Structure 1
């Protein structure tokens, strides 16, 4: 249906607005991780969990649940965490979950309205439903991530679940932006959606690996493996313990993953430079956005390491990483319009 009831521009604006909320979610998620707040809420209550504890009795009950976690028993308890400190980390996890609910409503309610108004163009309903499903998976993956760290032996969540949670958010962000740009193209008279070209796929694969490495580095606190750059603790290549085997070391060793994340970044830069060169003749703004995003991201990565992982720099690094994904999607979409 591409008739008078179709409202591609309104749909695109809505999707860009939801993408903006996802960007905020990624920032809040970074703060939640960096303040070690993610395990402060030990239960998943989709409805009643919307409200934080409202009395001292409720706060005390939540604190007691937290005291059963390995994070409290092995780290925060011996450090003397009190109720006020618990309230601080609880806030960030509660706000992170609340924002997830807000994003769900911000997507589902307008989707239902557009659907009932028959305002969704032909071929887009399945895409929008897929994005809704991704949002639901994101919430489920978030709970699986938290649950992975709730045993008495764990002091952190699984870095695998953390990476799944973050990468799903970035895939959702990409889908929102790509679909919105397709809708704007439809409004301007281009009926065919953009296609994902071979150049974009290659650059995207390289970028995906870098983002995955970054998520593993974050989940393993591997940023603390070294605070100097370009050397790591005085050496270009750090000493790696390979006794656990190649697969285990490649997915668990903080020094090796930190090293890979540092230098694969420049492989990603090379791939993005090639993409930006291909994009420039068609849309100079998209090309500039790609260059600006990866340049800023590299500088923030170095600054984060040399600052001994200052929280505000680490959060900025994660935020610009999400902007880099959007710049990549913009450039890939520009190329995809030419196919």
Structure 2
């Protein structure tokens, strides 16, 4: 047992307590946050590209050119004229060729085939990028604590998207049923799922852009009402995206090209001509376009309401985020009107679709900053 020590005795360096290290809350759970974030950003860009290629595939009526679902062997395109002719012969058996495309020769078929093949190939690339990245970070034990399940979600949704994609195509690969395009509601589900995947990726990218410690501190100043409003806005915008897909699925954007009226009326004259009545909400070009227009006006009004609330935020970056949402949606409304007036040419239609992606991202960012505000001092430092 050691003897008593004098109160005047110097304490040696060996007995000094170890100084408290900053950032301990992130230790053991940080992982490769920067690397994972970069990987997710690559996936995000690929999904956006997938949406664009998918839109072009639809606008060129190419989606039914490949009549079989071969997830593995389908990665190899026809390599000889015999194989090309065999694919063309399969296409000739479906209603789209019989009703709409009997004029096609083999070179014409190749053009639409490459669009659909490229669309499916990009899906395979996205799946591969996700699998290689996830397994790599998992084996290296670089995934932050609590993130393994989160990172599985985009991969699982991507696999589901592949199945939904074929379910969509199968609705148009028919014989004797008169179908010359995929079912519009299946197209809406397919596009909607792509935006859900984008939503998860975007949210994760935002979370990983800040340290865990900073997120925990920011959560204490969460603006609950603004977060709730922006969540409602996100859901409303998602509904409008689905309605846009219904418009695209039946080419309803080309049915009425006057604005703000439709056929000189508030409600188009042929809005409810189909029987039973519920079919009009999915298949009547006039009614579907009218619903999309009306939802757009309501969405703009709701955005203004949320924006006014966002202006009262104490955080400059949050206010700016909601300013960006309002500006983005106003531009999207203008693009929508132009798309209608010019009967949806592919260049404007694709720009309209890309703008939907941008508005979606802006809403996600504004919602994120409502939940995790960035505090700024009086001096703005």
TM bracket (short chain): over 0.9
Q: 1:200 to 1:168 in 2, by over 3 A?
A: same
For the pair 1:215 / 2:245, whether they are aligned, the reply is yes
Tell me the secondary structure at the aligned position of residue 303 of structure 2.
helix
* 1:189 matched residue in structure 2: 214
Q: 1:244 to 1:192 in 2, by over 3 A?
A: farther
Cα offset, 1:321, TM superposition: 0.8
Tell me the secondary structure at the aligned position of residue 209 of structure 2.
helix
* 1:256 matched residue in structure 2: 287
- Structure 2 counterpart of 1:274, from 301, 305, 322: 305
For the pair 1:61 / 2:122, whether they are aligned, the reply is no
Give deviations 1:14-73, integer Å, cap 9, x for gaps: 212211111111110100000000000011112221122121111111100000111001
Cα offset, 1:247, TM superposition: 2.5
Looking at structure 1, the residues matched to 127 and 68 of structure 2 have their Cα atoms a distance apart, in angstroms, of 19
- The equivalences for 1:6-21 within 5 A come to 6-21=31-46
Q: 1:5 to 1:305 in 2, by over 3 A?
A: closer
Alignment TM-score, normalising by the size of structure 1: 0.93
Looking at structure 1, the residues matched to 213 and 325 of structure 2 have their Cα atoms a distance apart, in angstroms, of 24
**2:168 touches 2:186 (CA, 8 Å); kept in 1?**
yes
- Structure 2 counterpart of 1:226, from 225, 240, 256: 256
**1:2 touches 1:122 (CA, 8 Å); kept in 2?**
no
Tell me the secondary structure at the aligned position of residue 165 of structure 2.
helix
* 2:322 matched residue in structure 1: 287
Q: How many residues align?
A: 337
Relative to its length, the structure with more helix (as a share) is 1
Looking at structure 2, the residues matched to 141 and 276 of structure 1 have their Cα atoms a distance apart, in angstroms, of 35
Unaligned runs of 5+ in 1: none
For the pair 1:170 / 2:195, whether they are aligned, the reply is yes
Unaligned runs of 5+ in 2: 1-25, 375-381
- Structure 2 counterpart of 1:98, from 121, 126, 129: 121
Looking at structure 2, the residues matched to 188 and 91 of structure 1 have their Cα atoms a distance apart, in angstroms, of 48
Tell me the secondary structure at the aligned position of residue 200 of structure 1.
helix
**1:131 touches 1:175 (CA, 8 Å); kept in 2?**
yes
Cα offset, 1:243, TM superposition: 5.3
Moved more, 33-42 or 187-196: 187-196
Moved more, 11-20 or 140-149: 11-20
Choose 1 or 2 for highest CA Rg: 2
Looking at structure 1, the residues matched to 307 and 365 of structure 2 have their Cα atoms a distance apart, in angstroms, of 10
* 2:160 matched residue in structure 1: 137
- The equivalences for 1:151-170 within 5 A come to 151-152=174-175, 153=177, 154-170=179-195
Cα offset, 1:187, TM superposition: 5.3
Cα offset, 1:279, TM superposition: 4.0
Alignment TM-score, normalising by the size of structure 2: 0.83
Give deviations 1:159-191, integer Å, cap 9, x for gaps: 111011000000000100001111223356324
